[in-house]
Amino acid sequence: MPGIITRGAFSAKSFGFGASAAGGGAVGTVGIFALGIVSGVGSSTTRNKYTYACCSSTATGVGAASAASYAGSAAGNSTRGIFALGLISCAPSTTRNKYTYACCSSTATGVGAASAASYDGSAAGNSTRGIFALGCTSVGSSTTRNKYTYACCSSTATGVGAASAASYVGSAAGNSTRGIFSLGYVCGVGRSTTRNKYTYACCSSTATGVGAASAASNFGSAAGNSTRGIFSLGFVCVVGSSTTRNKYTYACCSSTATGVGAASAASYAGSAAGNSTRGIFSLGFVCGVGRSTTRNKYTYACCSSTACGVGAASAASSGGSAASNGTCGVNV
């Protein structure tokens, strides 16, 4: 099974949509998708810029990753996206790239590295920090999370709330105050319904009182806005590739699969990013098709989803990651 990464969206609320971002331009305008494994190519440095206003996507003029990789994760704020590359030449990596939206540039220079070489993690954040769940390290699945501070490009595992269980291939989304991490594959358990609530203010994490997934799953992806996170479950126990999505409401920590727009095809190992009104889900590995260029547009207001009129990826791929300048923190 190809590696996956989730991707969360960062909080719309934390920097206010429609305001000017420090790097220039309005927030909530673009999502950056690292493609991961590309059909016929393998690990890739390719990234796509998805423009929400016109639902277009391009790989032209978009800063490439510093190394070909997959099974990474990403989170960002209104000016930059931080991409943990994951597997480079099939080996776990500590490398992260800083992608600057204003000039579409990317660099690995001066960017806080992960505390351990890892892959198949997940990430979510707000306007000041990104929280990266490392996923699988050289010692196996991990409970370790890193706090990445955008202002100084520093990263630490010290004083950062750990996951409630060692896990990998999860997904995450959040708002300005918390990140919701779907653990994915839990050591000694298998695919899991467990989610953790990570509170940025005190760097604490808990699995208590947090709405569970509707089914045990891994290899999912997630995006959201200031009120809800949309989790595409990915690979579901007994079922396999799934079209199921859950709506997680931050205010009451509840989760449901009822009335939530399904994916256009059963899939896993995708990625997602969004702004205050919609989430864009790159499906990844589609049942009966293989790696895909298909993306879905999920509209939060009516919980609808469509693949029509949505800019496709520049190449069929899976195991990617994504971040946006319009939300708070997704995955492959």
Answer left, alpha or beta for residue 178, where phi above 0 means left and psi between -120 and 50 means alpha.
beta
pLDDT at residue 326 in the model = 80
CA atoms of 158 and 200, how far apart (whole Å): 14
Name the band, by pLDDT with cuts 50, 70 and 90, for residue 9: very low
Instruction: Give the three-state DSSP class for 286.
Output: strand
Range of the domain at 99: 30-324
Residue of 34, 26, 142, 40 whose CA lies nearest to 95: 34
Strand partners of residue 295? 282
Identify whether 104 is part of a domain. Answer: yes
Each residue of 99-113: pLDDT tens digit? 999 999 999 999 999
Examine residue 13 and state whether it is found in any structural domain, yes or no.
no
Least confident of 15-19, 83-87, 128-132, 187-191: 15-19
Closest CA to 104 of 32, 38, 15, 7: 32
- Over residues 256-308, the pLDDT tens digits come to 999 999 999 999 999 999 999 999 999 999 999 999 999 999 999 999 999 99
pLDDT above 70 covers a percentage of the chain that reads 90
Residue 313 lies in a domain: yes
- Residue 280 in any domain: the answer is yes
| Distance from C-alpha of 26 to C-alpha of 52, rounded to nearest angstrom | 12
Q: Is 124 in a helix, a strand, or coil? A: strand
pLDDT in the model for residue 15:
24
CA–CA dist 58, 64 (Å, integer): 12
Check: CB of residue 91 under 8 Å from CB of residue 141. Answer: no
| Residue with the two structure tokens 């309005």 | 26
Q: How far apart are CA 122 and CA 221, in angstroms?
A: 9
Task: List strands edge to edge, sheet with 240-241.
Answer: 217-218, 235-236, 240-241
What global pTM score does this model have?
A: 0.92
* Tens-digit pLDDT profile for residues 63-94: 999 999 999 999 999 999 999 999 999 999 99
Residue 14 lies in a domain: no
Supply angle C-alpha 74, 192, 75, rounded to 5: 10
Domain containing residue 126: CATH number: 2.120.10.80
Is 330 among the domain residues? Answer: no
Distance CA 1, CA 76 (A): 27
How many domains are contained in the chain?
Answer: 1
Measuring CA to CA, how many Å separate 306 from each of 273, 281, 283, 297? 15, 10, 12, 5
The answer as to whether 11 is a domain residue is: no
> Does residue 12 fall inside a structural domain?
no
Instruction: Identify the pLDDT of residue 16.
Output: 26
Closest CA to 150 of 41, 23, 53, 242: 23
